[in-house]
Amino acid sequence: MERWQSMYQEKLANAETVVKAVCSDAICASTCALGEPVGLASALAERVDREGLTGVTHHLLLTLQNLKYLAPDMAGKMSHVAWFTSGFARKAVQEGRAGFMPCNYKDAPMLWRELVQADVFYATVSPMDKHGWFSFGVSASVARAQMSRAKKIFLEVNSFMPRTHGSQIVHISEVDAVFENNRPLFELPDGPLTEQDKMIGNYIADLIPNGATIQLGIGGMPNAVAQALRVKRDLGIHSEMFTEGMVDLIEAGVVTNRNKQINTNKAVASFAVGTKRMYDFLDDNPAVEFHAIDYVNDPNIIGQHDNFVSINATLEVDLVGQACSESLGPLQFSGTGGQVDFVRGAGLSKGGQSFLAMYSTAKHDTISKIKAVLTEGSHVTCSKNDIDCVVTEYGVSKLKGKTASQRAMALIAIAHPKFREELLFSAKKLCLIP
């Protein structure tokens, strides 16, 4: 124990000293969401600006802070590469000041191990234990993969980061420098549910059997599903993201994880974003494990759970079942994330189901989100070959196993009534129906 503590003290430095190791054209990598080392990333941006460094790149799977490297005047000096575009990075990506990395999240670790090499890996971790180990906390994600070929490894130690159970840890002997920055974690409380959210949540919950294992995405509709599931029994969790609603289900005794075929009695996730209540719940909680995203999102792992149910949001769906969940026309809005991974994983599960949910309209009922064809330039996230069920406030349409003609009619049935006649006309024009 004394040996590791002595090593820790030798490697301890302030942020300004740590980032001196970063040179022009360096590729810096940080894991996901709350794993971003806010203190080190900010200090690096300040140094780049002050000392005239150029071409520094900062990769991050999900940005939750509006930091200096996103500012317009940092163009050419330090740029951001988003692997999922949040509200903080969206404008920079859409204006071309930041990059975007398309990928299914399960492939992200492979990309870091084989194709994208980081000069610097830095991340926020929980405090070191007596054996010299740090936990990546609520941001396991791609951390070890990013580390695998990095030339320098820096840790930002934050006492507010929960120490989570699972496979994603790092030892002091692997690290080049340590910086302490104790600051409360970013919080993302659930917003109020709309009546449409509640209707969609109830439709989906009614189709989920007792004993199922679930994955929930982010947003009002998945949160509504979590609320509607409180009448169920013995559910399990295997989810890319651990959500606030999952805490409620575990504390209510709805989620027991006892029927899971793998990781029995454990909830499994790769990262989490929520409130302090959730972070406190996850701290040293052996009932929840965080693992690398190429394990959690592997369709072959997901498919080992019987009755696996995946629930995610989408933006628009066309009449053959192509779903765009990440762009507004050609403009990147979010990212593929793990949606395709879990849709495919549910497809491999005995009794599995996947649901893509959305409101039937946008812009005060002036635009149908069920389209004859996707908006020009839209990015297809979930292909017509993978899609299973689509849900709006007008019901659930099962597309898998249906012909193109049957799909068109099923989707028109859950479109807003004011657009159904127009969609029917378009379906005939496209020769989808006679």
Q: Which CATH number does the domain housing residue 215 bear? A: 3.40.1080.20
Same domain flag for 257 and 142: no
Examine residue 189 and state whether it is found in any structural domain, yes or no.
no
Please give the biggest Cα pair distance in the chain.
Answer: 78
- The whole-number pLDDT of residue 313 equals 96
Q: Is residue 434 part of a domain?
A: no
> What is the mean predicted confidence (pLDDT) over 346-370?
98
Burial class (CB in 10 A: 0-12, 13-18, 19+), 355: buried
How buried is 179 (Cβ within 10 angstroms: 0-12 exposed, 13-18 middle, 19+ buried)? Answer: buried
29 and 117 fall within a common domain: yes
Residue 392: is its pLDDT beyond 90? yes
Q: Can you tell me the mean pLDDT for 80-107?
A: 95
pLDDT level of residue 1 (50, 70, 90 thresholds): confident
* Active-site residue, selected from the candidate residues 156, 240, 289, 393: 240
pLDDT confidence of residue 220 = 87
**Residue 317 and residue 402: Cα distance in Å, rounded?**
15
Q: Are 61 and 111 in contact (CB under 8 A)?
A: no
Token pair, residue 176, equals 């080049």
Average pLDDT of span 119-138:
98
Residue 190 belongs to a domain: no
| Residue of 220 and 41 predicted with greater confidence | 41
Same domain? 14 vs 144: yes
Could you tell me which residues come within 8 angstroms of residue 143 by beta carbon, excluding any fewer than 6 positions away? 31, 35, 121, 123, 136, 168, 170, 292
Is there a single domain that holds both residue 96 and residue 130? yes
Query: Residue 356 domain-assigned?
Result: yes
Say how far apart CA 57 and CA 102 lie, in whole Å.
Answer: 16
| Chain CA centroid to CA 297, Å | 10
| pLDDT, average across residues 183-203 | 95
Residue 294 lies inside a defined structural domain of this protein: yes
Q: What is the pLDDT of residues 417-430, one digit of tens each?
A: 999 999 999 999 99
Q: What is the mean pLDDT of the chain?
A: 97
For the chain, what is the domain count? 2
Residues 103 and 138 in one domain: yes
Instruction: Give the pLDDT confidence score for residue 299 in this predicted structure.
Output: 99
pLDDT digits (tens, 9 = 90+) for 47-68: 999 999 999 999 999 999 899 9
pLDDT beyond 90 at 219: no
Same domain, 241 and 124: no
Residue 218: its pLDDT value, please? Answer: 82
Q: Same structural domain for residues 255 and 121? A: no
Is 240 a catalytic site residue? yes
Look up the domain containing 317 and give its range. 195-429
